[in-house]
Amino acid sequence: MTAHSDARIEPYWFGRPEAEIRAAVEARVEQWAPVPGHARYLWSDKGRVRRSVNGQVMKTRVINSGYESLKVLRDLDGKQVDVLVHQMVLLAHHPAFRGLPAFPDGMETRHNPATGPLFNAYPEGLWPGTRKQNAADKDEQEPQHPCRNAPACANLVVTPGRRCVDCVAAVGREAAELLRLGMPLQQVAERFGYTGPDWVYQLAVRYGHYEGSKAEARTQRPKLAQRLRLAGRRGDAL
């Protein structure tokens, strides 16, 4: 049975180890397809998106829920909207969804428990299902990957490349301190490997008790004394 067989009912990953799943994605040819209502873009069955005019591959961001997202222009009115990469990949490539501009009511995306929510390859990492099936997949996930801060941190996480809860809290405390020293919010976010600042700001407020507004944090610049203190801090991020 081929990777894109219309006859498959159960998800591709049932009974397959993670190494085999990732190897299958690497070995096959990448396919691109559009989604109705977003003609400016093509979506890859390996989880990438590019502009249909010039083929430029676009950057995505990881939102607070842990999924990949990006802003696109809607055909209907030219309005910029946020879309989830995993949903667009399924709409573009799953045989039951081709030609649909949005998910049918009652359907959700099932993510491969072995590879996590950022592995947006179809069918190896994504499959449609009901809310009950999706919840069952999540319940089955057990932390099995080292924390991003390993070997300094010995905790395990569900998704490869992510920080554990303890390290996320430490990021929030450190981010709050950097913000108090006048470092701009975007720079703080990039220091910890985030492309967008919103999540880091939330961590700084939650774990570091940062009280400044997001607008102030975005535009602030360190004063001379603050610059000296920042220069004395370690350059490595958590």
Give the start-to-end residue ranges of the domains of the chain.
18-141, 156-231
**DSSP letter (8 states) at residue 58:** P
The Cα–Cα gap between 112 and 21 comes to 10
pLDDT in tens, the chain (238 residues): 334 444 446 788 777 888 888 889 999 999 999 999 999 999 999 999 999 999 999 999 888 677 899 999 999 999 999 999 999 999 999 998 988 998 888 899 998 887 888 889 999 999 998 888 887 776 656 677 899 898 999 998 877 778 888 998 999 999 999 999 999 999 999 999 887 788 899 899 989 999 999 999 999 999 998 888 888 776 556 6
Q: Which among 211, 213, 222, 212 has a CA at the least distance from the CA of 184?
A: 222
Q: Give residues with Cβ within 8 angstroms of 203, minimum separation 6.
A: 168, 169, 171, 172, 175
Q: Which among 134, 135, 154 has a CA at the least distance from the CA of 145?
A: 154
Q: Which CATH architecture has domain 18-141?
A: Alpha-Beta Complex (3.90)
Q: Please, are residues 47 and 89 in contact by the beta-carbon 8 Å criterion?
A: yes
Q: Give residues with Cβ within 8 angstroms of 51, minimum separation 6.
A: 40, 41, 42, 58
The Cα–Cα gap between 7 and 191 comes to 46
The Cα–Cα gap between 189 and 178 comes to 10
At 213, the amino acid letter reads S
H helix intervals, the chain: 18-27, 85-93, 131-140, 165-180, 185-191, 198-208, 214-219, 224-231
Report the predicted TM-score, pTM, of the whole model to 2 decimal places: 0.60
| Residue 23 Cα distances to 18, 28, 87, 106, angstroms | 9, 9, 23, 32
